[in-house]
């Protein structure tokens, strides 16, 4: 149970309306946040939804030094009848538990994860934008909050969940993204590393490659595996799919990539479109040759934020490989609209993926 302590000074209705009229992404936060504390002695306690406010962190707080931290990302969707829904939040709860285990953090029980989100979203339901493909982005996270510079799993841990109104990812229609193929950097070490955990450290490792991408006129990075630099893994924060003929192909889960909820949903929706699903290793040469020969007709990235994002080109130091003339393709567009229609309640939820909050 997350007990609600109302923020004594919430934003006025006019202030909130001004933010919701043009929320951008990750810039504004709702009036409340969920909190819980774990200590080695007491386990999880002090669960509450209270006023959104800064933390007081001791300079010796362990997370600032050793990055023992994990997070999640999901959205609350307002349907036409004003009800508010989550998409497969149980999958995020399970992944949060797996990430916690990998980072030697305590597992937050699924019911606490879900109730923190439900209580926060219910309390701040006025912050869920309506209309278009706007949403309330939800960010649960957990970090080592013990004041101690020794290296071991922290004995004091903070769980927090904040919420941020977000505009439609593509306000002016879907824009294909241009991808830089990183040969100098990997995002995750390989088997035994933490590539499958949703942790800030993987993002920190990806930023220098993203800088390189910008310098080459690309927006995002495609990473290869850490061991051989041969196999396609994923982007910095999105999984990747290829379409070749009637095949829908994505890298298999071998513990080095993030197990995306969107990735998993696309496996189901792709099969329903009649595509033949393949989860397997994909050599980068197969991808580049396939683009050149025309065997690969579509490539897209997927994740909660962008949902499904067509990839227009892959750029290497030598060459730019343009897919489908740099345009999105029919399966990319079809999967994207099918998924969005389910999330926004415009299509029947035949898989039981939607979870009503209020
Ligand atoms: C969060 C994330 C994804 C996408 O996962 P979804 O559950 O679909 O949002 C993919 N790759 C990485 C590295 C991520 O952190």
Quote the tokens at residue 30.
């709702």
Residues 108, 39 share a domain: yes
Please work out whether the CB of residue 86 comes within 6 Å of at least one atom of ligand 1: no
Which atom from ligand 1 is nearest to the alpha carbon of 72?
1
Q: Whose CA is nearest to atom 1 of ligand 1?
A: 237
Please give the distance, rounded to the nearest whole angstrom, from the Cα atom of residue 7 to the centre of ligand 1.
32
Please work out whether the CB of residue 256 comes within 6 Å of at least one atom of ligand 1: no
Kindly report the number of other CB atoms within 10 A of residue 280's CB atom.
Answer: 10
Q: Whose CA is nearest to atom 5 of ligand 1?
A: 260
Instruction: Say how far apart CA 163 and CA 116 lie, in whole Å.
Output: 11
Residue 319 lies in a domain: yes
Please give the distance, rounded to the nearest whole angstrom, from the Cα atom of residue 237 to the centre of ligand 1.
5
Residues 210, 275 share a domain: yes
Buried b (16+ CB within 10 A) or exposed e, 214-250: eeeebbbbbbbbbeeeebbbbbbbbbbbbbbeeebbb
Residue 9 lies in a domain: yes
Phi, psi of 125 (to 5 degrees): -60, -25
Q: Whose CA is nearest to atom 13 of ligand 1?
A: 237
Give me the number of domains the chain comprises.
Answer: 2
Q: Whose CA is nearest to atom 2 of ligand 1?
A: 237
Residues 251, 145 share a domain: no
Task: Show which of 166, 195, 219 is a domain's final residue.
Answer: 166
Residues 298, 207 share a domain: yes
Q: pLDDT digit of tens for each residue in the chain (358 aa)?
A: 999 999 999 999 999 999 999 999 999 999 999 999 999 999 999 999 999 999 999 999 999 999 999 999 999 999 999 999 999 999 999 999 999 999 999 999 999 999 999 999 999 999 999 988 999 999 999 999 999 999 999 999 999 999 999 999 888 889 999 999 999 999 998 899 999 999 999 999 999 999 999 999 999 999 999 999 999 999 999 999 999 999 999 999 999 999 999 999 999 999 999 999 999 999 999 999 999 999 999 999 999 999 999 999 999 999 999 999 999 999 999 999 999 999 999 999 999 999 999 9
Residue 349 lies in a domain: no
Measured distance between the N- and C-terminal CA atoms of the chain, rounded to whole angstroms: 17
CATH code assigned at 116: 3.30.470.10
Q: Which residues pair with 160 in a beta bridge?
A: 35, 141
Instruction: Say how far apart CA 299 and CA 238 lie, in whole Å.
Output: 12
Please give the distance, rounded to the nearest whole angstrom, from the Cα atom of residue 71 to the centre of ligand 1.
11
Residues 144, 99 share a domain: yes
Task: Show which of 116, 131, 166 is a domain's final residue.
Answer: 166
Please give the distance, rounded to the nearest whole angstrom, from the Cα atom of residue 196 to the centre of ligand 1.
9
Task: Show which of 136, 166, 196 is a domain's final residue.
Answer: 166
Q: What is the pTM of this model?
A: 0.98
For residue 172, the model assigns a pLDDT of 84
Residue 358 lies in a domain: no
Please work out whether the CB of residue 206 comes within 6 Å of at least one atom of ligand 1: no
CATH code assigned at 214: 3.20.10.10
Instruction: Say how far apart CA 192 and CA 225 lie, in whole Å.
Output: 12
Please work out whether the CB of residue 258 comes within 6 Å of at least one atom of ligand 1: yes
Phi, psi of 322 (to 5 degrees): -95, 130
Residues 161, 189 share a domain: no
For residue 290, the model assigns a pLDDT of 98
Residue 353 lies in a domain: no
For residue 131, the model assigns a pLDDT of 83
Residues 332, 190 share a domain: yes
For residue 76, the model assigns a pLDDT of 98
Residues 91, 53 share a domain: yes
Phi, psi of 190 (to 5 degrees): 130, -165
Residue 260 lies in a domain: yes
Residue 355 lies in a domain: no
Please work out whether the CB of residue 234 comes within 6 Å of at least one atom of ligand 1: yes
For residue 187, the model assigns a pLDDT of 93
Residues 182, 161 share a domain: no
Q: Give the domain range for residue 118.
A: 3-166
Residues 245, 292 share a domain: yes
Residue 114 lies in a domain: yes
Please work out whether the CB of residue 251 comes within 6 Å of at least one atom of ligand 1: no
Q: Which residues pair with 315 in a beta bridge?
A: 180, 320
Residues 79, 119 share a domain: yes
């Amino acid at each position: 149970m997350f007990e609600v302590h109302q923020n004594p000074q919430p934003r006025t209705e006019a202030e909130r309306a001004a933010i919701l009229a043009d929320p951008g992404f990750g810039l504004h936060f709702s009036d409340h946040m969920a909190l819980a504390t774990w200590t080695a002695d007491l386990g999880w306690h002090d669960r509450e939804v209270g006023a959104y406010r800064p933390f007081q962190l001791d300079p010796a707080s362990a997370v600032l030094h050793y990055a023992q931290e994990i997070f999640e990302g999901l959205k609350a969707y307002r349907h036409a009848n004003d009800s508010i829904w989550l998409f497969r939040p149980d999958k995020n709860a399970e992944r949060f538990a797996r990430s916690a285990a990998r980072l030697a953090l305590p597992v937050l029980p699924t019911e606490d994860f879900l109730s923190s989100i439900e209580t926060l979203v219910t309390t701040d339901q006025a912050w869920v934008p309506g209309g278009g493909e706007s949403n309330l982005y939800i960010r649960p996270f957990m970090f080592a909050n013990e004041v101690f510079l020794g290296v071991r799993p922290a004995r004091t841990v903070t769980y927090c969940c904040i919420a941020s109104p977000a505009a439609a990812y593509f306000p002016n229609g879907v824009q294909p993204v241009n991808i830089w193929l990183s040969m100098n950097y990997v995002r995750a070490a390989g088997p035994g590393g933490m590539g499958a955990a949703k942790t800030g450290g993987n993002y920190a490792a990806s930023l220098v490659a993203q800088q390189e991408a910008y310098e080459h006129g690309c927006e995002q990075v495609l990473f290869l595996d850490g061991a051989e630099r041969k196999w396609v893994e994923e982007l910095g924060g999105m999984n990747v799919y290829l379409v070749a003929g009637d095949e829908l192909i994505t890298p298999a889960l071998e513990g080095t990539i993030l197990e995306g909820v969107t990735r998993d949903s696309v496996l189901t929706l792709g099969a329903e479109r009649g595509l033949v699903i393949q989860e397997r290793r994909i050599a980068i040469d197969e991808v580049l040759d396939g683009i050149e020969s025309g065997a690969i007709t579509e490539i897209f990235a997927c994740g909660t934020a962008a949902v499904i994002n067509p990839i227009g080109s892959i750029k290497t130091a030598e060459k730019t490989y343009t897919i489908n003339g740099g345009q999105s393709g029919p399966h990319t567009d079809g999967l994207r609209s099918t998924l969005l229609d389910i999330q926004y309640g415009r299509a029947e939820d035949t898989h039981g993926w939607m979870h009503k909050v209020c």
